[in-house]
Amino acid sequence: MLSASLGAAGTPTRLGAERGDYVGLDFRFGATVGKTFFGWLSPYATLRAFGGPIFFFVDDESDAGGARLRLGTDKFHFQGGLGAVFILPENLDLFVEGQPGAEQGGFAGLGWRY
């Protein structure tokens, strides 16, 4: 399976007296390969490449209502993961995935097939 996604996140920030706003954009492309066994277990491996700018607008006290812009990016631009989907009764799927290197993380969820 091949995938592509675009995401964005933003939030106000504060560190001591310094205040600002954070905005991050993410462009992500991925490839996943897996196989179903026993009609209910689908283990898979995935590899994703991503990137996008991060904007940090720091309130500038010296510029009446102005802000300084700091640009950033991700430390790593790839992610590998292993996961599994478990097909359950009542049209439910349980999925788990972990990413041990580069951009690290993990997630799990429950899906409903209709």
Per residue in 4-21, pLDDT (tens digit) is 999 999 999 887 777 889
CA 27 to chain centre: 10
Per residue in 31-55, pLDDT (tens digit) is 999 999 999 999 999 999 988 888 8
Stronger pLDDT, 60 or 79, i.e. the higher one: 79
For 66-103, b/e burial (b = at least 16 CB within 10 A) is eeeeeeeebeeeebebebebebeeeeeeeeebebeeee
Residue 113 Cα distances to 15, 51, 65, 88, 89, angstroms:
44, 31, 50, 10, 10
Q: Where do we find the tokens 């009446």?
A: 64
Q: How far apart are CA 70 and CA 32, in angstroms?
A: 35
Predicted pLDDT at 1:
92
Cα radius of gyration (the chain):
20
**Mean pLDDT to the nearest integer, 69-87:** 88
**Is pLDDT at 63 greater than 70 in this prediction?**
no
Percent of the chain with pLDDT over 70: 94
Q: pTM here?
A: 0.69
Predicted pLDDT at 43:
98
Percent of the chain with pLDDT over 90: 54
